[in-house]
Amino acid sequence: MIATTTTAVPNAPTLSDLRALNEAAMPSLFQLPPEVEELRDEVRDFAQTVVKPRTLANDLAPADEFDWEMVEAGHRLGLLRLTMPKDLGGRGMGVLGVAVAMEEIASVCASTALIFGASLLGQTSVLFSGDQQLQARFLPSFLGDRPVLACNAITEETAGCDLLIPEHAELAEDVMTARRDGDHFVLDGVKRFITNGKVAEWAAVFANIEGNPGATGLTVFIVPLDSEGVTRGAVADKMGYRACLGTTLTFEDVRVPEENIVFGEGGGWNYLTVQSNQARSIVAAISTGVARGAFEIAKEWAGERVQAGKPLYEHQFTARKLAEMSSKIEASRLLYLQAAHQADNMLPAPVYGPAVAKMYADRAAIEVAEEAMSIVGARGYCREHAVEKLVRESFGARIYEGTPEVLALAITGALYGRRL
């Protein structure tokens, strides 16, 4: 018989926990800037102390209930003005900072992350345009004491992915129209599944200038949602992402002054691709957070739960599951960090990196959450268990900001140097 000794192996820092690597004097190809590390600490504390205790209640609440108190706590931290430059009163963060913050929140509640993420996305067009007149009109409300949200309205009843693939512009049907009337445009149409649509102050609305086929005249309009003719409809009763409200927004003869156009008439497509490439790194971070949240629960459980006389993690099949889950989280995080770093150092951000990061991380989140539930067993299949909610949430990011099929067109198009 071979004698064996059990030696305690110290917890090695993971591959992608950059600060832990640094503290352990382990080699790392890159580090997070100190201000991003600081933000991560603040947001981690917010996620653990404010979001986590309310997450199950928010998930089980009726579809149209909204937790303004939680949003207000995030607002005090500056989460609703995260990307506004410091000289405008914001926190001056780039895509990397937002992504890292979103991972922290999503590790306990992806839908809370999306409340903040969708509002920041709504602001992006106004911020990025550099249009001082629009900025003066639409940004100061995010600096007050009261939390204010924005939203981004693209999806329609007949046009979903068609509004995310520029090459399909001509094929999109029955797209919301914008008809010129003097120095105004009149908007008519219906937007679906708009995160924050129920509660936002204004929306970045994508509409087709009348007379252009399909969505070839896509244009961005900033529309205050208390404008005459705007109706906030029912909230979608979603399987997951229940803390953020996805709403139908109906626009009937809504008059919008022409100065509310961002990037000019017909500038919608070019802008949309810029916006998507930035947002995809952030959604990849949300998926990474979901995977991490589920993994942490499974890891803890596998350490405590004893079957056949030993903790689950010592059983080889479970050990393998945990190892694969951990590897997927590492890969997801490294991919989104690299994609976000590119977005902060290249305008327009490249197509390839963010699409790869999102495609991988979205799939990893589903796989990791599913394995986490299997490790927890029956308890994890019950409504009141956090892992059950993470399983439902893991499917959400695969739909918004580019399905795997949309991402595949972007990635393969980039590989061949053309748009598919």
Ligand X SMILES: Cc1cc2nc3c(=O)[nH]c(=O)nc-3n(C[C@H](O)[C@H](O)[C@H](O)COP(=O)(O)OP(=O)(O)OC[C@H]3O[C@@H](n4cnc5c(N)ncnc54)[C@H](O)[C@@H]3O)c2cc1C
Contact residues: other proteins, CB under 8 A? 85, 92, 94, 128-130, 263-264, 267, 270-271, 274, 344-348
Q: Which of 305, 282, 307, 308 is nearest to 372 (CA)?
A: 305
**97-129 burial: b if 16+ Cβ within 10 Å, else e:** bbbbbbbbbbbbbbbbbbbbbbbbbbbbbbbbb
Q: Which of 221, 153, 231, 223 is nearest to 192 (CA)?
A: 153
In this structure, are strands 246-257 and 184-195 parallel, antiparallel, or unpaired?
antiparallel
CB 128 within 8 A of CB 277: no
Nearer to ligand X, 269 or 301 (CB): 269
Does residue 289 belong to the site contacting ligand X (CB under 6 A)? Answer: no
Using CB under 6 A as the binding rule, the residues of this chain from 371 to 410 that contact ligand X are 396, 399-400, 403, 405-406
Nearer to ligand X, 255 or 392 (CB): 392
* Residue 330 CB neighbours (<10 A): 16
Q: Quote the CA–CA distance of 403 and 21 in Å, as a whole number.
A: 34
Find the part of the chain contacting ligand X (CB under 6 A) among 9-17, 189-197, 295-303, 305-313: 189-197
DSSP, collapsed to helix, strand or coil, labels residue 322 as helix
Least CB distance from residue 351 to other proteins, whole Å? 11
* Residue 30 CB neighbours (<10 A): 10
156 DSSP assignment:
B
Q: Which of the choices other proteins, ligand X, none does residue 377 contact, using the CB cut-off of 5 to 8 A by kind?
A: none
Nearer to other proteins, 85 or 213 (CB): 85
CB 281 within 8 A of CB 233: no
* Residue 376 CB neighbours (<10 A): 23
Structure tokens at 116: 């903040």
Give the residue carrying structure tokens 């900072």. Answer: 97
Does residue 166 belong to the site contacting ligand X (CB under 6 A)? Answer: no
CA distances from 246 to 42, 82, 348, 411 (A): 27, 22, 28, 28
Least CB distance from residue 95 to other proteins, whole Å? 9
Structure tokens at 189: 């149409």
Give the x/- contact pattern for ligand X in 69-108, rule: CB under 6 A. ----------------------------------------
- Member of 90, 217, 246, 354 binding ligand X (CB under 6 A): 246
Least CB distance from residue 134 to other proteins, whole Å? 12
Nearer to ligand X, 18 or 223 (CB): 223
Q: Which of 415, 416, 405, 417 is nearest to 165 (CA)?
A: 405
Does residue 193 belong to the site contacting ligand X (CB under 6 A)? Answer: yes
- Member of 129, 155, 212, 277 binding ligand X (CB under 6 A): 155
Least CB distance from residue 49 to ligand X, whole Å? 25
Does residue 301 belong to the site contacting ligand X (CB under 6 A)? Answer: no
Least CB distance from residue 107 to other proteins, whole Å? 26
Q: Quote the CA–CA distance of 26 and 227 in Å, as a whole number.
A: 56
Q: Quote the CA–CA distance of 176 and 252 in Å, as a whole number.
A: 10
Does residue 195 belong to the site contacting ligand X (CB under 6 A)? Answer: yes
Does residue 318 belong to the site contacting ligand X (CB under 6 A)? Answer: no
Q: Which of the choices ligand X, other proteins, none does residue 348 contact, using the CB cut-off of 5 to 8 A by kind?
A: other proteins
- Member of 20, 26, 73, 161 binding ligand X (CB under 6 A): 161
- Member of 106, 118, 187, 200 binding ligand X (CB under 6 A): 118
Residue nearest ligand X, Cβ-based:
160
Q: Quote the CA–CA distance of 11 and 94 in Å, as a whole number.
A: 32
Least CB distance from residue 267 to other proteins, whole Å? 6
Q: Which of the choices ligand X, other proteins, none does residue 270 contact, using the CB cut-off of 5 to 8 A by kind?
A: other proteins
Nearer to other proteins, 256 or 340 (CB): 340
Least CB distance from residue 92 to ligand X, whole Å? 24
Point out which residues bind ligand X (CB under 6 A): 118, 151-155, 160-161, 164, 193-195, 241, 246, 396, 399-400, 403, 405-406
